[in-house]
């Protein structure tokens, strides 16, 4: 009857056949759940998108005609294929089992399917619902962004799937790392430098492994100097002053002695900047090199400075003696305070 999945019949024969099929799909004759005498079809069938679904209808020897339908569309009647979909194939047509297979299932295949039979001159139907599950997929996620500290940031992560996937956000660069949001949208108000780094969006349902994507946030902030120490060096030796600053973008460094800006290669000094570190090197220290120097770190968001001292070997004892004298003075003040408190 079917050639290549298509029905080729004169229109009159088709009309006659359609009338004969009416008894197979009567309206309002659902099978009762307690009707043990009727061959029962399967319960709901759940498959994952892309897999095959097999729909079975159990029969007995009283059945004379049988058909599978999808809503109002006839898929198979007996061994004859009515569907033009090449994915629908007949699996079994015996006295006890009538089954079809739908290959490479997609979401539009979801819905009710009906096994219609003729038995004892009475048509009856049994229905099964095909449920198609879809793995989670992130369709749209925010691009990497760069913002200034204090700005507000909105990240989005839009995902699809069946069942609808749950979306969570994690901050991977934080200490400790952890969950920061459980919605498709993540809003960060007045972002800080500690909140920079990678954010991971995960879309998950029970169908397959989560779909995971990442967004990088760069937070710009002005420099601050966290390491600048005094250094001692003897006359004729090498002396190095160091200044280290954190900033995004990276800071640019300048060195001053009093109000005079120093230039690399002049007066026996070299300025070398490497990432967050700047070094002022004296290759042959002289008496005139001793003194106070200022390191200035700047980027387009601001600047900061710190003072460092290059001193000679004799100044070390002087600094130590000054520190010892200060400690002794603090001890004496503490003793006098305790004595006055006891007398009172």
Distance (Å, whole) CA 55 – CA 57? 7
Helix/strand/coil for 207: coil
Parallel, antiparallel, or unpaired: how do β-strands 166-171 and 178-181 relate?
antiparallel
Cis amide bond preceding 192, omega within 30:
no
| Cβ-based neighbours of 298, under 8 Å, separated by 6 or more | 223, 251, 252, 254, 304
The answer to whether 233 and 242 are in contact (CB under 8 A) is no
- Rounded to the nearest integer, the mean pLDDT of the chain is 82
Provide the pLDDT for residue 334: 45
Residue 71, pLDDT score: 83
Residue-by-residue DSSP string for 243-311: EEEEEESPPEEEEEETTEEP-TTSTTEEEEEETTEEEEEESS--GGG-EEEEEEEEETTEEEEEEEEEE
- Residue 125's pLDDT band, with cuts at 50, 70 and 90, is confident
Radius of gyration of the CA atoms of the chain, in A: 41
Contact status, residue 164 vs residue 205, Cβ threshold 8 Å: yes
CA distance 305 to 48: 63
- pLDDT tens for each residue of 176-197: 667 889 999 999 999 999 999 9
The SS3 call for residue 322 is helix
Residue 14: predicted pLDDT = 41
Q: b/e for 254-275, b at 16 or more Cβ within 10 A?
A: bbebeeeebeeeeeebebeeee
Domains assigned to the chain: 2-134 (2.60.40.10), 142-221 (2.60.40.10), 228-311 (2.60.40.10)
Q: How far apart are CA 307 and CA 286, in angstroms?
A: 20
Instruction: Quickly state the pLDDT bin for 158 (edges 50, 70, 90).
Output: very high
- Residue 16: CB partners within 8 Å, gap ≥ 6? none
- Of the two residues 337 and 131, the one the predictor is more confident about is 131
Residues in the chain: 344
Output the pLDDT for position 130.
96
**Rounded-to-integer distance, Cα 225 and Cα 303, Å:** 10
pLDDT band of residue 264 (cuts 50, 70, 90) is confident
Cα(344)–Cα(342) distance, integer angstroms = 5
Task: Check residue 176 and give its pLDDT.
Answer: 66
pLDDT top residue among 264 and 231: 231
The whole-angstrom separation of Cα 214 and Cα 202 is: 9
* Stated pTM of the model: 0.71
Digit-coded pLDDT (tens) for 26-74: 332 333 333 434 445 457 999 999 999 999 998 888 888 999 999 889 9
Beta-bridge partners for 254: 296
336: number of Cβ within 10 Å: 10
Within 10 angstroms of residue 121's Cβ, the number of other Cβ atoms is 7
Q: Rounded CA gap, 222 and 248, in Å? A: 7
Q: What is the mean pLDDT of residues 252-267?
A: 91
What percent of the chain shows pLDDT beyond 90?
Answer: 68
SS3 assignment, position 41: strand
Task: Find all residues with CB under 8 Å of 108, minimum gap 6, and list them.
Answer: none
Alpha helices by DSSP H, 79-230: none
């Amino acid at each position: 009857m079917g050639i290549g999945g298509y029905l080729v019949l004169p229109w009159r024969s088709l009309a006659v056949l359609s009338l004969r099929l009416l008894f197979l799909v009567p309206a309002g004759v659902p099978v009762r759940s307690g009707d043990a005498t009727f061959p029962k079809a399967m319960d709901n069938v759940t498959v994952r998108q892309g897999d095959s679904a097999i729909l079975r209808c159990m029969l007995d020897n009283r059945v004379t005609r049988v058909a599978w339908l999808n809503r109002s569309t006839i898929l198979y009647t007996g061994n004859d294929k009515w569907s033009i979909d090449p994915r629908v194939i007949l699996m079994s047509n015996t006295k006890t089992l009538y089954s079809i297979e739908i290959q490479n299932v997609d979401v539009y295949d979801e819905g009710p399917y009906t096994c219609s039979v003729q038995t004892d001159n009475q048509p009856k139907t049994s229905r099964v619902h095909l449920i198609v599950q879809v793995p989670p997929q992130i369709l749209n996620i925010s691009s990497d962004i760069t913002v200034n500290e204090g700005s507000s940031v909105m990240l989005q992560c839009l995902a699809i799937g069946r069942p609808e996937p749950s979306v969570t956000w994690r901050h991977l660069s934080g200490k400790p790392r952890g969950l920061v949001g459980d919605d498709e949208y993540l809003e960060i108000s007045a972002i800080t430098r500690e909140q920079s780094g990678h954010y991971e969006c995960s879309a998950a349902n029970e169908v397959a492994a989560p779909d995971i994507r990442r967004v990088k946030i760069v937070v710009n902030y002005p420099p601050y100097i966290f390491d600048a120490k005094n250094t001692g060096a003897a006359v004729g030796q090498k002396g190095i002053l160091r200044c280290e600053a954190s900033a995004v973008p990276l800071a640019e460094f300048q060195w001053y002695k009093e109000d005079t800006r120093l230039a690399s290669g002049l007066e026996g000094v070299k300025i070398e900047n490497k990432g967050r570190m700047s070094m002022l090197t004296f290759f042959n220290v002289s008496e005139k090199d001793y003194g106070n120097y200022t390191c200035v770190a700047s980027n387009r968001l601001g600047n900061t400075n710190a003072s460092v001292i290059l001193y000679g070997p004799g100044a070390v004892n002087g600094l130590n003696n000054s520190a010892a004298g200060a400690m002794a003075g603090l001890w004496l003040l503490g003793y006098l305070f305790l004595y006055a408190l006891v007398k009172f």
